[in-house]
């Protein structure tokens, strides 16, 4: 009996290895591919969403826009057509969370530098302060690549509506029309202008998750 087992020991080991390989291949084929959630206004905390759309449960997309970037160029949805992008809201004179958010956005810029599918978009919430010239100074200071990242200013009402009705990331300041309190959220937007993720722009771990989700979204598209 022992002679029999010794004789077929090598065959048994080979068979075991082949079985493991075959099972792994079958598992990888059958394992569902990760897919990112499509966020709707009803999925988000009501304080971050305009009252007119708080209960919308489907078909939400980012509205068309027309703003001005750090180079004085008009930026519209056409500039982001067919692109995945990461958006946020900030202001250049902010001394609390904005510098951290901007540094993290710069890290994302570095990761996507050679990726033609992904862009960045940062909206100022103080357009009366953040003129084109001010945004340009800030862009130079922070190492903004004009081909990948637009810092935009424009009509305050339009920026307010984008934050509250499109990106769903700002609290209504209430005491003054079209004033808002922006959050630390980064928003991942797909090629169909749908929200696919929210991330804490001050948290390094969340930035890593965003970068991983970018890969998932690219495979999905």
Cα 128 from Cα 133, distance rounded (Å)? 12
Tens digit of each residue's pLDDT (9 = 90 or more) over 146-202: 999 999 999 999 999 999 999 999 998 876 777 888 899 999 999 999 999 999 999
Q: What is the pTM of this model?
A: 0.85
Residue pair 61/192 in contact by the 8 Å Cβ criterion: yes
Q: Check residue 178 and give its pLDDT.
A: 75
Cα 177 from Cα 99, distance rounded (Å)? 26
Residue pair 110/74 in contact by the 8 Å Cβ criterion: no
Residue with tokens 């804490």: 200
Partners of 149 in the β-ladder:
120
How do the pLDDT tens digits run along the chain, 221 residues long? 545 445 555 555 555 555 555 555 554 455 567 899 999 999 999 999 999 999 999 999 999 999 999 999 999 999 999 999 999 999 999 999 999 999 999 999 999 999 999 999 999 999 999 999 999 999 999 999 999 999 999 999 999 999 999 999 999 887 677 788 889 999 999 999 999 999 999 999 999 999 999 999 999 86
Report the length, in residues, of the chain.
221
- Give 171: exposed, middle or buried? Use CB within 10 Å, 0-12, 13-18, 19+: middle
Q: Check residue 7 and give its pLDDT.
A: 52
Residue pair 138/70 in contact by the 8 Å Cβ criterion: yes
Cα 89 from Cα 181, distance rounded (Å)? 10
Residue pair 130/91 in contact by the 8 Å Cβ criterion: yes
Phi-psi region of 199 (alpha: psi -120 to 50; beta: other; left: phi over 0): beta
Phi, psi dihedrals of residue 152, rounded to the nearest 5°: -120, 145
Q: Check residue 27 and give its pLDDT.
A: 45
């Amino acid at each position: 009996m022992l002679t029999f087992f010794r004789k077929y020991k090598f065959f048994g080991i080979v068979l075991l290895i082949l079985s493991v390989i075959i099972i792994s291949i079958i598992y990888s084929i059958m394992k569902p591919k990760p897919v990112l959630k499509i966020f709707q206004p009803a999925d988000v905390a009501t304080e971050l969403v305009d009252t007119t759309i708080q209960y919308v449960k489907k078909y939400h997309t980012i509205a068309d826009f027309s703003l001005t970037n750090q180079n004085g160029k008009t930026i519209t949805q056409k500039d982001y057509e067919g692109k995945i992008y990461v958006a946020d809201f900030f202001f250049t004179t902010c001394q609390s969370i904005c510098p951290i958010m901007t540094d993290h956005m710069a890290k994302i810029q570095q990761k996507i530098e050679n990726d033609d599918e992904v862009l960045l978009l940062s909206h100022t919430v103080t357009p009366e302060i953040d003129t084109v010239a001010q945004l340009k100074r800030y862009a130079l200071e922070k190492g903004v690549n004009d081909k990948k990242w637009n810092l935009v200013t424009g009509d305050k009402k339009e920026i307010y509506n984008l934050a509250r009705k499109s990106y769903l990331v700002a609290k209504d300041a209430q005491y003054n029309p079209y004033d808002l309190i922006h959050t630390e959220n980064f928003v991942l937007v797909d090629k169909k202008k749908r929200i696919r993720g929210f991330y804490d722009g001050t948290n390094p771990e969340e930035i890593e998750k965003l970068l991983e989700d970018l890969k998932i979204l690219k495979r999905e598209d």
